Amino acid sequence: MFEVSMSAPARFDSHSVYTPDFPHGPVRPFRAWKAFWGLVGDRDDTRFVFDFFQAVNGKTAGPYFRRYLASEFGQKTLADPEYIDTLLLDRRRLEAAGPDSVAAAYLHYLDSEGLHPLGVHDAAVASAPELYARMDRDYPEYSVMRRSTSILHDLYHVLTGYGRDPLGEAVLLVFSGVQSGNRGATWLGHLAGLRIRSEMRSWPVGKMMRNTTRMAREADDLGLTDPASYLHLPLDEARARFNLKPDPVYRHLRDTYTGPEPVSGAS
């Protein structure tokens, strides 16, 4: 599944400057299609997500990876790969931020969904331990970025206002893909949206996809920002700071819809 370019992990450019590499390979449409339908069958199996990404990303992850490495937040996580763990596992500190804070909204989200702060990353590693061990060994800097991105996924749900339902996950994927330039996330989100639209014909999925794309382009880059700088802020203030405007179309749908969820949504 993890079929990528396997050049030596330590790279040097023409000026002998160390340039960390990232896993990449050719675009494989058939492999991507198989991975997508595997995910439709079991949306909690993250192996299909990574298989899809590897099949379509090509080198699109490169520019964002470089920006991450150059950012202050990226440097902090490279120096301490468990920096995010320390921050988000400190429940006492998060609770001290106050009832209207981003931290309070994040804790409420975790508690109401029965989630653990490291759950997304831990589930991904558990589903594909060899893949992660290989990435840790051959692409350590990229592995740190992926770890950070995975752990912060639930916090981005809170900031964007998208829920954990299948539609919320799909539009958040598009949001993240647009911000990072990650082709895999953008395409997977849109494909999931098309699948949902085929089942729920009255849902304005296309409009919500356009709304999340616009929000992603207009907002500051969440993935390059240290959460310690905004967890203590009131949620509305943090959203205003990042120019995040949660989609009222999505919110209205989620507040009024009471039927079964699409695309294996009950799992």
Q: Give the global pTM.
A: 0.85
Q: How many residues would you count in the chain?
A: 267
**Which pLDDT does position 12 carry in this prediction?**
36
Q: Is residue 265 a contact partner of residue 166, using CB atoms and an 8 Å limit?
A: yes
> Per the structure, how many domains does the chain have?
1
**Taking the chain, what is the end-to-end CA distance rounded to the nearest angstrom?**
24
Burial grade of 119 (CB within 10 A; 0-12, 13-18, 19 or more) = middle
Cross-strand bridge partners of residue 18? 12
Per the domain annotation, does 56 fall within a domain? yes
pLDDT number for residue 44? 67
The answer to the question of residue 203 being in a domain is yes
Q: Has residue 91 been placed in a domain?
A: yes
Gyration radius (Cα) of the chain, Å: 18
Tens of pLDDT, residue by residue, the chain (267 residues): 334 443 334 443 444 445 577 766 677 888 888 888 887 777 667 677 777 777 787 777 788 999 999 999 999 999 999 999 999 999 999 999 999 999 999 999 999 999 999 988 888 888 778 888 888 998 899 999 989 999 999 999 999 999 999 999 999 999 999 999 888 889 889 989 999 999 999 999 999 999 999 999 999 999 999 999 999 999 999 999 999 999 999 999 999 999 998 865 444
Check residue 16 and give its pLDDT: 40
Residue numbers of the domain that contains 234: 34-256
Report the 3 state secondary structure along the chain: CCCCCCCCCCCECCCCCECCCCCCCCCCHHHHHHHHHHHHHCCCCHHHHHHHHHHHCCCCCHHHHHHHHHCHHHHHHHHCCCHHHHHHCCHHHHHCCCCCEHHHHHHHHHHHHCCCCCHHHHHHHHHCHHHHHHHHHHCHHHHHHHHHHHHCHHHHHHHHCCCCCHHHHHHHHHHHHHHHCCHHHHHHHHHHHHHHHHHCCCCCHHHHHHHHHHHHHHCCCHHHCCHHHCCCCEHHHHHHHHCCCCCHHHHHHHHHCCCCCCCCCCC
The pLDDT value recorded for residue 17 is: 46
Contacts of 239 (CB under 8 A, 6+ apart): 159, 245, 246
Q: Is 98 left (phi over 0), alpha (psi -120 to 50) or beta?
A: left
**Does some domain include residue 238?**
yes
Q: Looking at the domain assignment, is residue 6 inside a domain?
A: no
Residue 4 lies in a domain: no
For the CA atoms of 100, 104, 109, 115, what is the dihedral angle to 10 degrees?
180
Q: Is 228 exposed, middle or buried (0-12, 13-18, 19+ CB in 10 A)?
A: middle
**Domain assignment present for 18:** no
